[in-house]
Amino acid sequence: MNTAYRAAALFLGLLAATSVVAKTGDVTDPKAPRNLPAEGAVAVSWTDPAQFSDLRQSGNRWEAKRGDWVQQLAQYLRKRAVQRLPSGERLDVTITDIRRAGQYEPWRGANFGSTRIVRDIYPPRIELNFTLSGANGTVFSQGARKLTDLDFMRNASAVGSSDPLRYEKRLIDEWLAKEFKRPKA
């Protein structure tokens, strides 16, 4: 009885783990979205993540493409940008490249092959294009930006955070603060 119970528990555990792995996804999947669903004043899209520096220059491409980190960053960008836009303005952003902080260092041994090592020589970088327009379609500003923070390891706001995208989110916050001043209430 005890053996049958353990076997059933093991089977259910493996089944649950498999569904978690299946949900993790792959940012390079051709069926994966390349934009957030249209809603509100901020539209965010991205180019093919397979061409992002984070994957092309990765020490472990398989690990680098796992998850939905591109979509998470796009959602964060939209959420934070909405807070900065005056009523009636529209922001369209296309993310063209992402290089997350850290790197896979497979030469450290088999136990570290799937561990992203965060060191100051691997700063986060995001490249994007944007267009800010008014309600009538008049373009107020547009351009391409290369976001990077070479001093990301010394930034106090990221200390103690367990968010795996904390450095990239900080880049987004810094860009939005510089590019778009908060509307006055």
Residue 179: the pLDDT is 95
118: tokens are 């965060």
Looking at the domain assignment, is residue 1 inside a domain?
Answer: no
Is 15 inside a domain boundary? Answer: no
Does residue 116 or residue 133 have the better pLDDT?
133
Domain with 170, as residue range(s), is 26-179
The C-alpha R_g of the chain, in whole angstroms, comes to: 20
**Per-residue pLDDT at 114:** 78
What pLDDT was estimated at residue 3? 59
Q: Tokens at residue 3, please?
A: 């053996």
Residue 115 within any structural domain of the chain = yes
- Split into its structural domains, the chain has a count of 1
Task: Indicate the pLDDT class of residue 7, thresholds 50, 70 and 90.
Answer: very low
First to last CA, the chain: 68
Residue 90 has pLDDT above 90, yes or no: yes
- Taking only the tens place, the pLDDT of each residue in 24-69 is 589 999 999 999 999 999 999 999 999 999 999 888 888 889 999 9
Higher-confidence position of 25 and 110 = 25
64 in a structural domain: yes
- Residue 67 is assigned to a structural domain of this protein: yes
The answer to whether residue 11 is domain-embedded is: no
Domain membership of residue 168 (yes or no) is yes
* 40-to-21, 184, 185 alpha-carbon distances in Å: 32, 20, 20
Q: Give the separation between CA 104 and CA 63, rounded to whole angstroms.
A: 9
Of 8-17, 46-55, 77-86, 174-183, the one with minimum mean pLDDT is 8-17
Element (H, E) at 137: none
Per-residue pLDDT band for 2 (boundaries 50, 70, 90) equals low
Residue 144 counted as domain residue: yes
Predicted local distance difference test score (pLDDT) of residue 21: 39
Buried b (16+ CB within 10 A) or exposed e, 23-61: eebebbeeeeeeebeeeebbbbebbebeebebbeebbbe
Q: Report residue 12's pLDDT band, with 50, 70 and 90 as the boundaries.
A: very low
